[in-house]
Amino acid sequence: MSDIRFDVLGIGNAIVDVLSRAEDDFLVREGLIKGSMRLIDAEEAERLYDHMGPAKEISGGSAGNTIAAIAGLGARAAYFGKVADDHLGKSFAHDIHAVGVHFETRPLLRIAPDHAPTARSMILVTPDGERTMNTFLGACTHLGPDDIDPAIVAASEIVYLEGYLWDPPAAKEAFRKASQIAHAHGRRVALTLSDSFCVDRWRGEFLDLMRSGVVDLVFANQTEIKALYETADLDAGVAALRADVALAAVTLSDEGSMVVTPDDVVRVAAAPVAAVVDTTGAGDLYAAGFLFGLSRGFDHVACAELGGLLAAEIIGHVGARSQTDLVDLARQAGFPM
């Protein structure tokens, strides 16, 4: 019997999404770049909220979405992320517990000297289904190395980290600590590059994480790969990527994805999508399917196919947390669940 208690541990910014429909001209008026994620402070969060339309609140956070879906597929999953002891923090904890994820990170207390509320991302969904994110990190900036429970890291087959963690400074240390413990116990460490602007902010450090072996597996979309290698040529980016990491999965929107290793690049077609309602979480759910597949010993193509299947499901409705039975979905598509 193995001593592994968790298939995947995710570490990320614990965020509740505040999703609202918006027209393109709203983005223009507000000076927002469609499809991007920008960080905002409390004041701007309030200002934008006042301007935006009626909203739905659904738990989010990139790694949180991934981990919730991995649990939904029936794997053993754990999550570290910092919420506050407020309504949104309780909602976040409820939602991730309700799908069976181990989540015990201590919330930031209201009496803390530098209290901040639970993070929220105001996500504007345009008629084309594209999402533009405005994130107030709040309590997430308090995630630090003390929140990394070594026993959980040691007990997790794969540790999955958000590139977004590189924004709140203390989280970097948490990230490095988790990677160290994981590797000391022979585990694998995965990183998602998260967003091309995030890559722009941290290009050198991300490349260093890959080249120094702090991470073993990278998730990225084509824009992020181009940003990482500062090239307009995806093939050139992928060629560079092959030299920098043992395994990468690169998503290509409606053209599917590529599995990249030092030896090989394999293309996998996208799953069919009836209607693109909201692309929020598409990358997160792709990572969920891929990581679940890895934990079950699927070959890389099957991992990418399961990722594509989950991504296709999530973009058919609003929000990045599915209320669909993912085991059924995967089983009907022929995966051995």
Q: Which is nearer to its own copies, 56 or 211 (CB)?
A: 56
Residue 336 beta carbon to its own copies: minimum distance, rounded to whole angstroms: 24
Nearer to its own copies, 32 or 55 (CB): 55
Residue type, 61: G
Q: Is 24 left (phi over 0), alpha (psi -120 to 50) or beta?
A: alpha
Compute the least distance from the CB of residue 282 to its own copies, in Å.
18
- Quote the least distance from Cβ 30 to its own copies, whole Å: 15
Which residue from 1, 47, 14 is spatially nearest to 321, judged by alpha carbons?
Answer: 14
Q: State the nearest-atom distance from the C-beta of 42 to its own copies, in Å.
A: 14
**Of 207, 239, 237, nearest in space to 221 by CA:** 237
Nearest approach, Cβ of residue 87 and its own copies (Å): 4
Nearer to its own copies, 277 or 337 (CB): 277
Closer residue to its own copies (CB): 59 or 196? 59
CA distance 36 to 279: 12
Nearest distance, CB of residue 65 and its own copies, angstroms: 11
Phi-psi region of 315 (alpha: psi -120 to 50; beta: other; left: phi over 0): alpha
Minimum CB distance to its own copies smaller for 20 or for 223: 20
Provide, rounded to whole angstroms, the least separation between the CB of residue 57 and its own copies: 4
Q: Which is nearer to its own copies, 72 or 293 (CB)?
A: 72
Amino acid at 248: A
| CB of 180 or CB of 324, closer to its own copies | 324
* Nearer of residues 15 and 88 to its own copies, judged by Cβ: 88
Q: Which residues bind its own copies (CB under 8 A)?
A: 20-21, 49-50, 52-59, 68, 86-88, 91, 94-96, 98-99, 317-319, 321, 323
Single-letter residue type at 295: S
User: Please, what is the minimum distance in Å from the beta carbon of residue 17 to its own copies?
Assistant: 10
